[in-house]
Amino acid sequence: MPIKPIRSQADLALHGAPPAYAEALHVGRPNICDREAFLQRMGQVLDNQWLTNNGPLVQEFEQRIAERLGVKHCVAMCNGTIALEIAIRALGFSGEVIVPSWTFIATAHALYWQDITPVFADIDPVTHNLDPAAVRRMITPRTSGIIGVHLWGRAAPADELQAIADEHGLCLMFDAAHAFDSTYRGQPIGRFGRCAVFSFHATKAFNTMEGGAVTTDDDELAEAMRLMRNFGFAGYDNVIHPGTNGKMIEACAAMGLANLDGFDGVVATNRRNHAAYREAFAGVPGITLLEYDPAERNSHHYAVIEVDASCPVSRDHIIDALHAENILVRKYFWPGCHRMKPYRDLFPHAGLLLPHSEAVASRVIVLPNGAAVDGAVVSTIRDVIVALISKGPTP
Ligand code: T4K
């Protein structure tokens, strides 16, 4: 795709219908695998005259996801955040729950929204995932659980976190929003902890436009979450549980079923692009591409570079230069949840306990990936960065 330079800073105001929106190269461009298959599925939805409330496509979708991820239950939801909230409630979390700060804000919000305090533990600066030793340090008598996040689809240390949870009588679950189809020690990621929560948002490797799911092998937990996502109804006129509206609609399941058939192709494209990024950045001073363990499955959806102190130019100057070329890279998840207002107000000094989270937050750039990216795009991105570096150090 030809990239047109951005016309003004206002073009970056994504939520204000910016004129350059369609022309820009975005991180998070959705994978739309097979338009015809989707439209055919949508025809089915309209013919069925069944648009939501546990329809046939949602049921088929849940079954296919459970099979693919090797779990007993997949409970589909309207998005990953509601799925987190419902899982947290069904597991009975309360008081304090330990989470990384280096994650999307939804991980923390899903707790705080329910009057549970997210307590931020530091990460391992290499894996970007929770550091078990840091988790231990944050346990108090009020701690009821741990939420590990499989960041960038790379597995959090599930065995070590489970050992801590067992030792302290805590409940462990995972935010697997990035980790559809990933493995941990060769096992599908949805089977670790009491449950795993996936996001199928438009920006994810596998998407249902909006959507999410909780996977678990626990029959009772799955049953409780099914009730909770549908107001607690156990049949006509019979509410047996408090609940909310967390249902996935048929149109989203239609997108999911179409995209599921194309998912392996998405992964192949991502892997190809990731290899091209590796080659492009080899030898560029101070730039390191985040790698995926070849022994594990991973969608390679996130093309992440870290800009360290040996790079002659700053991370933010690189971002400005790429944005000026209409390549809308992101600095996910800067500045970290603990520095966002609600949590900064709660824990003004949290940063002192999160040195690795703060350091990683200052280094990361997420680059575009997926079908919109090819060798030419990778070369353009490299050339912009190398040209900036060759001009010399940032003033
Ligand atoms: N846990 C973790 C670890 C997560 O990363 C997320 C979501 C969740 C939980 C919660 O799951 P959900 O409730 O969202 O299912 C985006 C996504 O909205 C969010 O799903 C995702 N993580 C997060 C990492 O990214 P924003 O605020 O960055 O979105 P926005 O509007 O800036 O869009 C991102 C980029 O994608 C832009 O460059 C534009 C592009 N885009 C976006 C959409 C929706 C497109 O090109 N087309 C599109 O249709 O949060």
Q: Using one digit for the tens of pLDDT, what is the confidence trace for 104-143? A: 999 999 999 999 999 999 999 999 999 999 999 999 999 9
What is the residue type of 94?
Answer: S
Q: Among 68, 65, 73, 71, which Cα is nearest to 226's?
A: 73
Q: Using one digit for the tens of pLDDT, what is the confidence trace for 146-185? A: 999 999 999 999 999 999 999 999 999 999 999 999 999 9
What token pair was written down for 336?
Answer: 């970290």
- What are the φ/ψ torsions at residue 99 (nearest 5 degrees)? -140, 160
Q: Using one digit for the tens of pLDDT, what is the confidence trace for 84-97? A: 999 999 999 999 99
Q: Is 332 in the pocket of ligand 1 (CB under 6 A)?
A: yes
From 1, 195, 203, mutation site for ligand 1 pocket: most ligand atoms within 8 A of C-beta: 203
Please identify which residue in the block is written with the tokens 């305090």: 117
Q: Is 27 in the pocket of ligand 1 (CB under 6 A)?
A: yes
Separation of CA 202 and ligand 1 centre (Å)? 7
pLDDT the model gives residue 21: 56
Alpha helix locations (H) across the chain? 35-48, 56-69, 80-90, 105-112, 132-137, 158-168, 219-228, 250-281, 315-324, 341-346, 355-363, 375-390
What token pair was written down for 366?
Answer: 């997420």
Q: What radius of gyration, in Å, describes the C-alpha atoms of the chain? A: 21
pLDDT band at 8 (very low <50, low <70, confident <90, very high): very low
Nearest CA residue ID for atom 45, ligand 1: 29
pLDDT the model gives residue 4: 52
Q: Using one digit for the tens of pLDDT, what is the confidence trace for 335-363? A: 999 999 999 999 999 989 999 999 999 99
Q: Is 208 in the pocket of ligand 1 (CB under 6 A)?
A: no
Q: What are the structural domains, with CATH classification, of the chain?
A: 9-23+263-329+368-390 (3.90.1150.10), 35-261 (3.40.640.10)
Give the Cα-Cα-Cα angle 362, 24, 38 (nearest 5 degrees).
110
Q: Is 259 in the pocket of ligand 1 (CB under 6 A)?
A: no
- The Cα–Cα gap between 236 and 272 comes to 51
